[in-house]
Structure 1
């Protein structure tokens, strides 16, 4: 007898997502308490090794908004408000659910090492926490 007996459509599709490291989520939550807090960190991500200073979401959002304000053109003012607009939309989606742990990780002064010699430097970086397969405090010498 099938485990799906009685259903005419068959099994429902289930979307699964890798589970982020709980300790890293709690570290990010701690950094979110103080806008000026940061820690040097090295991450293993699918594209290589990434290192920089881990910062909280609010610090990343403030620096991102500051960067966007430097953009010139007719849409500059609209773009500068974008980080706050995104956050407002997320807050509305989560209405009443303050228990969620962070799902994103943010770095300042990040360097991505791809292969043995290729590096990419970025003033700000944001990535999905579930894509981090390993991490350690500190940066390569």
Structure 2
């Protein structure tokens, strides 16, 4: 009988993945397909800069706020995303090194859980320390997987 592999449980993120996330964050206008294994679930999408994530979520909230009765509440959330995810300072203008990323941000995200049920979302944010494994490239995930 073969035992199932034990998931990676270190609280420290993969340093190569962290460096890739930092590079994407620094460029801000670049994305790359990536597939992650997070606590037994496959998560696949386009790795984007944290600023692009903040803009995307903020934009989606603004669109939703424009069509609902209590849009002012959602509009206040957009300010939060705008503040938390500022545009990065260009490398030539930086006076200090940016902090190492602790989170990664995906766009056009597909999930496949242990029961092979697929789900999709526009955006996703996850802790680097929660990633058990990864590979560059997207995995096509459908409800039929």
Question: SS of the counterpart of 2:100?
Answer: coil
Change (3 A) 1:100 1:35: closer
Change (3 A) 1:47 1:122: farther
- In 1, Cα distance between equivalents of 2:99 and 2:72: 37
CA drift of 1:76 comes to: 3.3
1:133 match: 132
RMSD of the alignment, in Å?
Answer: 2.1
In the alignment, structure 1 residue 111 sits paired with structure 2 residue 110: yes
1:59-70 to 2 correspondences below 5 Å: 59-70=52-63
2:82 match: 84
Give TM-score, length-normalised by structure 2: 0.72
- In 2, Cα distance between equivalents of 1:49 and 1:109: 14
For structure 2, the residue ranges without an aligned partner over 5 or more in a row are 1-9, 66-70, 87-94, 141-145
In the alignment, structure 1 residue 43 sits paired with structure 2 residue 36: yes
**Structure 1, residues 70-117: CA drift from partner, whole Å, max 9, x if none?**
1222323312211123358xxxxxxx9845310001110011101243
Question: SS of the counterpart of 2:72?
Answer: coil
Aligned residues: 118
- In 1, Cα distance between equivalents of 2:107 and 2:18: 17
Q: Of the two, which has the highest radius of gyration?
A: 1
